Amino acid sequence: MTYENGVIVTRNEVNPILTIAIVTFNSESTLKKCFNSVFSQNCSKDSYEVLVVDAGSSDNTLNIVKELQVRVIVEVGCTRGHARNICLDEAKGSLIAMVDSDIVLPQNWISSILKYFDDSSLDAVSCPYRTPMPKLGFLGKIIYYFTSGWAAYNKLGD
């Protein structure tokens, strides 16, 4: 992999490509923010692919996915676990990142993951992310802030 100022610019056959696997079901309200964060990464678009497995959404989820021209598999009625297994079977990348459809990724998320896999002794990597703040009352927001990872994420910065 070649880096310029911490940004992945090329990959070669030796280093892995990443599949970002997103499981959806009626995710219309959160999916655009998730995709915006995925496609705003500070790395080359050919260093990763996006695979969506949908459980048969009845809202606008599939139209949003189709607009972005990413690979999508629809498996009506499947559970989250079954959908993730489909992702594992269908992924083209040698590394797979499971991302929920309500997650907003920091801009350096993919490059942070891939740089650690230059060390062949690693089998797994975890990186920070955040879920958008739901519409809650004052007390609900305080509880959510301290139990969801927002406090830790805000200390890391965007």
Tell me how long the chain is.
158
pLDDT of amino acid 112: 82
pLDDT of amino acid 104: 87
Strand 7-10 relative to strand 2-4: parallel, antiparallel, unpaired?
A: antiparallel
User: Contact 107/42 with Cβ under 8 angstroms?
Assistant: yes
The H helix count followed by the E strand count for the chain is: 6, 6
pLDDT digits (tens, 9 = 90+) for 118-138: 777 877 777 666 666 667 777
CATH of domain 2-127: 3.90.550.10
Q: Which amino acid is at 25?
A: F
pLDDT of amino acid 109: 87
DSSP 23: E
pLDDT digits (tens, 9 = 90+) for 25-50: 999 999 999 999 999 998 888 888 99
Please report, for the chain, the start and end positions of each structural domain, with discontinuous segments joined by +. Answer: 2-127, 133-158
Give Rg (Cα) of the chain: 16
Give this prediction's pTM. Answer: 0.71
